[in-house]
Amino acid sequence: MKRAATPFLLLVVLAVLAMVATTTAHPLPPGDALNSGDVAWMLTASGLVLLMTPGLSFFYGGMVNFKNVVSTTLQSVIALGVISLVWVFVGFGLAFGRDVGGWGLIGNPLSFFMFDNVSEGTVTLGTGAAALKLTVPLLVFSMFQLKFAIITPALITGSFAERVRFSAYLMFIVLFSLFIYCPLAHWTWHPQGIFFKWGVKDFAGGTVVHMSAGFAALAGALILGQRKSHIAKEVHEAYNVPYVLLGTSMLWFGWFGFNAGSAGAANGTATLAFATTNTASACAMLGWMFFDWMCGRKPSAMGACIGAVVGLVAITPAAGFVTVRDSIVIGLVASVICNLAAHYKNKSSIDDTLDVFPCHGVGGMVGMVCTGIFAKDVGLVYGKTETFLYHLLALVIVAAFAFGGSLLLYKVTDLIIPLRVTEDQEYMGLDLSQHGETALAVGALINGDGQKNGTPTQPIVAAHA
């Protein structure tokens, strides 16, 4: 294993900057009076959203081949560390800092450089009638938004699972966060953002999180190419279905913070988002399973889990804007469309290992279109067309930006660090080749004849499921 000093040296540089770098203080105007109930809820919601990332690690880790369980789960969990520091350094400023030039495209990275000016008091973001007056400390708001920034690049990992080089992955998620995620967050959620000014309704991340991750996943699958096992048309067997069930449960639980927390306060909107989130996921879980059943496939645990997550994805942009009745329709429609998209993808040569694009990319698009249709008072069903048309325009822009931008970032990364592992490393598995670890103890790697083997057989995998 070659020594790699650069990552540690970069961390040292960041620590030195934290001690010596200075910025000019530009405090924001005060917000509304601090509300202790809102603070308690938003701290809780932040913890719930953080839980989603380890939940995702189980969800993805249970789906991959046994040789890649550790690497796949780590790719999610490591984002907790990497993106947290990127966010403190300049990410929060790019997403929610003072708008640069009045174009609504990006925030000033120096606004909150090293979390300067991120106060323990309430502030007002933006200006004019659209200004957002917080009732929680800006520090709480920033931590809540950080959890969204963490899970978004983690979602992408399912598309290139089992073949990506770990060091290249670390570099890519930093670039993705700075050049894709942060601009999209500014466009959509900052009061001076261009989508915000257009009236685009994205309650908790249909465009910012799921469409961006989905289209980046599609780009990643195309850039890294097919796995050798996929080319050979080997049957892909999930390592541990109970892991997938556990991960789904953690995601569903955490998603209440993801969506209901996006109300920014402990209020009626948060309650509505909580209810629509649960209902859409329940309907999508059953919709996916029953649609499979109708098509002659067995009603599987895997299908139920994927369906539940698709429902959570689709309701995310609409959660606080639609009724519980609407959420039933959104969950069912998303489950059928994403199911068809996944099966169509499986017939193609695209090797999106864990169907990130069919579930998150397509699910996010379904959610955004449905938000434009059902959003209270401004949706298509209320006789209004402006919001719906702006949603279609935003959908096209985000798709092109996330896909094209990610393609460029993958190519830049590959020029510096090869994205794909060697054929021998892929055959060995990323757990051993990238991390020197295995999901099972060495003593468990025994074949049917009782001899130690570097490759556990299917019966052993089943025994540990």
pLDDT means over runs of 10, the chain (465 residues): 83 92 83 96 98 98 96 98 97 96 93 92 89 95 98 97 97 98 98 96 97 98 94 88 97 98 97 98 98 96 97 98 98 98 94 96 98 97 96 98 98 97 95 92 50 40 30
Q: How many CB atoms lie within 10 A of CB 37?
A: 12
Q: CA 404, CA 60: separation in Å to the nearest integer?
A: 25
Instruction: Tell me what pLDDT residue 130 has.
Output: 85
* Residue 343 tokens, joined: 């099966």
Instruction: Tell me what pLDDT residue 415 has.
Output: 97
Instruction: Tell me what pLDDT residue 444 has.
Output: 53
Complete domains list, the chain, with CATH: 43-423 (1.10.3430.10)
Specify whether the CB–CB gap between 179 and 407 falls below 8 A: no
Q: Three-class SS of residue 173?
A: helix
DSSP single-letter state for residue 158: G
Specify whether the CB–CB gap between 233 and 346 falls below 8 A: no
Amino acid at 459: P
Instruction: Tell me what pLDDT residue 459 has.
Output: 33
Q: CA 363, CA 155: separation in Å to the nearest integer?
A: 13
Q: What is the CA radius of gyration of the chain?
A: 22
Instruction: Tell me what pLDDT residue 127 has.
Output: 84
**Among the listed residues 370, 435, 393, 23, the one whose alpha carbon sits nearest the alpha carbon of residue 199:** 393
Amino acid at 170: L
Q: How far is CA 434 from CA 1, 107, 249, 371, in A?
A: 9, 36, 29, 42
Amino acid at 1: M
pTM, rounded to two decimals: 0.93
* Residue 90 tokens, joined: 């300049």
Q: b/e per residue, 138-167, with b = 16+ CB within 10 A?
A: bebbbbbbbbbbbbbbbbbbbbbbbbbbbb
Q: CA 65, CA 161: separation in Å to the nearest integer?
A: 9
**Among the listed residues 279, 318, 7, the one whose alpha carbon sits nearest the alpha carbon of residue 168:** 7
Instruction: Tell me what pLDDT residue 425 has.
Output: 96
